[in-house]
Structure formats: C-alpha cells, structure tokens
Amino acid sequence: LNFSKCYKEPSLFRKESKGSVLLVAVYVDDLLVTGSSLDVIQDFKDEMATKFEMSDLGKLTYYLGIEVTQLKDGIIFHQERYANKILEEAGMSDCNMVHIPMDPSLKLSKAPQEEEINEKDFRRKIGCLRYLIHTRPDLSHCVGVLSRYMHSPKESHGVALKQVLRYPVSYTHLRAH
C-alpha cells in the first residue's frame, strides 16, 4: 500500500497521500491508525477491509497497557490501572502514600553485609516499573538507580523499592498537544 517502514521502529509505517500523513503502528494483529486527515484514515480502513476481516474499535482508549483519554485540546496517556495492579500484586493496595519516590540523599550500595531479598520478586517489580515509566517519567531516576541492584538485591534495596511503590500512581499524566 506504498507505506514506508520507520527505520528506528520497525512496527511503525508512514504514508503520505493527498497532502496528508498517515501513520500505522502494528502489534501482532492490532493496528493503531492515526493521521492528519480523517478522509485519508477512512480510505485506509476501507482499503484494508477489502483485504482482511477487520473490526474498527473507534477512537483509541487502551493500547498495550496504556490508557488514552482524548480531549479537544490534547491527549492524556496514563497507566493507572496497570500501576494499581502492581500495587495489588505487591500487597500494597492500601499503603500510606509518600510525597517523593526516593529520598534524594539516599545512598544505596551493594550492601554485602545485609540480608538478601527475593531476587525474582525484586526483578519482576523493577520490570513492571520500567514499563510504567512510559507515562511516569518522574520515576525514571529512582527506577534506574534500583535497576543497578537486580542481581543480589538486599534489604535496603527492598525498602527503597517500597518507597517508589508508595508514591501515588495518579500524580503525573503526560499530555500531548
């Protein structure tokens, strides 16, 4: 269909047509379609429907764990449900919230004298937080610091991780205009 594949993101395709741009992101059997003209988007959907059995789910509201709220003046991306699921799995749904995700004066180390904590559980939680960073860039630094201790995490790393998890899940939304 005369699309160009993005060389940095192989699942993203771009097409210029009738002075408009059309972007299609592909994930397994899901397509995320956007563009600068509703006519070009509709033409694409009509053409695809002649070749494949398709369902049009309308405006994007949820994609790969990211919730999308479309407003007149912009789009809000958030992962509140995903973040709440992380808390639930950690047994921290009803925890007391904190105002900062990590104390700026905290100095973590390998702490060989400390007791080890469950490495698999620590890694899984860090992995979940790394995915949450897509909509919570305010967590980038502390998750990056904790990622250094994914092998042989100690009690102090677990305490710091709990502090990050206690930071409210709905403080920050990215807004795109």
Closest by CA position to 105, among listed 163, 158, 60, 38? 163
Residue with tokens 């993005």: 6
Residuewise pLDDT in 10s, the chain (177 residues):
889 999 999 999 999 987 999 999 999 988 999 999 999 999 999 999 999 999 999 999 998 889 999 899 999 999 999 999 999 999 999 999 999 999 999 999 999 999 999 999 999 999 999 999 999 999 999 999 999 999 999 999 999 999 999 998 654 444 444
Cβ burial, residue 129 (10 Å; 0-12/13-18/19+):
buried
Beta bridge partner(s), residue 66: 63
